[in-house]
Amino acid sequence: MTKAFDNYEVWFVTGAQLLYGGDAVVQVDGHSTKMVDGMNESGLLPVKVVYKGTANSSEEVSQVMGAAQADPRCVGVITWMHTFSPAKMWIHGLQKLSKPLLHFHTQFNEEIPWDTMDMDFMNLNQSAHGDREFGHILARMRKNHKTVVGYWKDPATLGHIAVWERVAAAWADAQDMRIIRFGDQMNNVAVTDGDKVEAEMRLGYHVDYMPFSDVLCYFDAVKDEDVDGLVKEYFTLYDHAPALEDSGSLEYRKVWNSAKAELTLRAVLKDKGAKGFTTNFDDLGDYNVEKTGHGFDQIPGLASQRLMAEGYGFGAEGDWKSAALCRTVWFMTQGLEGGCSFLEDYTLNFAGGKSSILQAHMLEVCPLIASARPKLEVHHLGIGIRKTPTARLVFTSKVGCGVTATVVDMGGRFRLVVNDVQCIEPKPLPKLPVASALWIPMPSFEVGAGAWIMAGGTHHSCFSYDITPEYWEDYAEIADIEYLHIDKDTTIESFKKDLRMNEVYYLLNKALK
């Protein structure tokens, strides 16, 4: 299991009361300890579960929830009612907790001990009604949470907890996430823009702008020998034509320039403690860079590809929402094998039942989704203010199922749009030397693309082979934002109803809380 989440823990709090005497609570405590140990030893949970004892009164609940809220290691709380725990005693504590909450409806005993069961056994094993009492207060308080139902040793049950743990950890990661924008939104683009103040209030992350004059200070500080070293590293990591290594060639110089751009961006991001960034092909430094050498000679595409693979969130053309979501996807899938990337709906391919969408970008696709070792190539790039060759990693994505997602600002609320997609084998694109994926959106090209467009979804999205829609459902629940999922069962008729219903729901939602 990955070490990525070692700095985090989730707390496990068992609800009980003193009505049944101290002995009962001692047993509740013992059972809870065994359960938490068993969950940790299962190897199925990426974040360690820490048992915090029984809560038997309003004061005890308040104390433990206040402590959970204050402890930076704690990314969420799991509650379980082993006995009946009168839920008014949870009100004040739950009011203190704004971290992710999971209500676990399980039972210490797997099956009823038919031959020996008596009233004492029932008094202890009361989850069947204790968890309903607790569920009521969550419903009554309109408290966002995830409910997981199942036996605590069942791998399927633990799988639901594992998903929530990953999302809760990524949520914690987003609360001090800083996104640096190198340049603004591409002029006039609506869908990638939005309310950055609301984003910080609602989603946690902070978006800053950095003028290119400041970037140039970092650019000037990059040492030539470090650039030389990084270029050598590229040649060991990626397939490439031997001619690229000819240090007198234009191609070599373009690879070298890309390496310098990478070291520049890396230095900025490290210095600023940023977890993601955006670029803009119109904002690259000195306009006369080909002569002065002062600034990026082309968009830092190779740098964006490699930084994404390290976990920096990326959004093109100033798309800070995608940059943040991209980081969150990378963060929550750490240790999983499939890979993730920022992608753009590039070009449609009409082919009957196999109609699909080519996913690519100018250059910036993350090599974590590559089906084979990427190839380092230098080609002309004629978009943006520079029209000059530049380096990039070229590959096609793996074949298989995945999920893509985007967040759009609807004015008054954020909307998370999620689509299950199937990546299929592309045909060669000899005249388009960029990384790409080719997918069919579920349930079909027509309905999948149609629903996404009706929801106002972006042409940019954050794709992963590893995550399931359950991740996004948990994320939307924690963030308290709108969630729209387009899957194999979606019809345009039902989707339109969802859009209309959500419009009403979100108008009334604030009044209800």
Interface segment toward Mn ion; rule CB under 5 A; list 15-23, 341-349, 391-399, 500-508: 341-349
**How many Cα atoms within 13 Å fall on the side-chain side of residue 295?**
22
- Between residues 323 and 479, which has the closer beta carbon with respect to Mn ion? 323
Backbone φ and ψ of 138, nearest 5°: -65, -45
Cβ-based nearer residue to Mn ion, 127 or 359: 359
Radius of gyration of the chain (CA): 26
Using the rule CB under 5 A, which residue among 36, 77, 81, 316 binds Mn ion? 316
Q: What is the largest CA-CA distance in the chain?
A: 89
Nearest residue relative to Mn ion (C-beta): 316
DSSP strand pairing (239-240 vs 206-210): unpaired
Q: Which of 9, 344, 377, 473 forms a contact with Mn ion (CB under 5 A)?
A: 344
Counting contacts by CB under 5 A, is residue 231 touching Mn ion?
no
Strand partners, 377: 392
The binding track of 160-199 with respect to Mn ion, each residue x by CB under 5 A or -, is ----------------------------------------
Q: How many residues bind Mn ion (CB under 5 A)?
A: 2
Write down the least CB distance from residue 246 to Mn ion, Å.
Answer: 33
| Closer CB to Mn ion, 244 or 299, in the complex | 299
Please, which residue, 47 or 316, has the CB nearer to Mn ion?
A: 316
**Is residue 170 within 8 Å of residue 478, measured between CB atoms?**
no
Query: Residue 234: helix, strand or coil by DSSP?
Result: helix
Q: Is residue 377 close enough to count as binding Mn ion by CB under 5 A?
A: no
User: Minimal distance in Å, beta carbon 319 to Mn ion?
Assistant: 7
- Residue number, 96 or 459, with CB nearest to Mn ion: 459
* Closest separation in Å from C-beta 185 to Mn ion: 11
Q: Which is nearer to Mn ion, 172 or 316 (CB)?
A: 316
Instruction: Select 344 or 466, whichever has its Cβ closest to Mn ion.
Output: 344
358 near Mn ion (CB under 5 A): no
Tell me the HSE value of 69 on the side-chain side, using a 13 A CA sphere.
13
Q: Toward Mn ion, which CB reaches closer, 265 or 316? A: 316
Q: Are 81 and 61 in contact (CB under 8 A)?
A: no
Near Mn ion by CB under 5 A, which window of 9-17, 155-163, 309-317, 352-360? 309-317
323 interacts with Mn ion by CB under 5 A: no
The interface region with Mn ion, picked from 67-75, 340-348, 371-379, 449-457 by CB under 5 A, is 340-348
Strands 388-394 and 48-55: unpaired
Provide the b/e sequence for 48-59 (b: ≥16 CB within 10 Å): ebbbbbbbbeee
Strands 178-182 and 206-210: parallel
**Could you say whether residue 478 binds Mn ion (CB under 5 A)?**
no
- Whether the CB-CB separation of 363 and 300 falls below 8 Å is answered with no
**Shortest separation between residue 447's beta carbon and Mn ion, angstroms:** 24
Enumerate residues 6+ apart whose C-beta is below 8 A from 121: 113
- The CA-based angle 376-377-380, given to 5 degrees, is 150
Please give, one letter per residue, the 3-state secondary structure of 276-331: EEECCCCCCECCCHHHHCCECCCCCHHHHHHHHHCCCEEEHHHCHHHHHHHHHHHH
The interface mask with Mn ion, positions 128-167, x = CB under 5 A, is: ----------------------------------------
CB of 495 to Mn ion, least distance (A): 25
Q: By CB under 5 A, is residue 381 in contact with Mn ion?
A: no
Residue type for position 336: L
Q: Segment contacting Mn ion (CB under 5 A): 246-254, 308-316, 467-475, 499-507?
A: 308-316
Interaction site with Mn ion (CB under 5 A): 316, 344
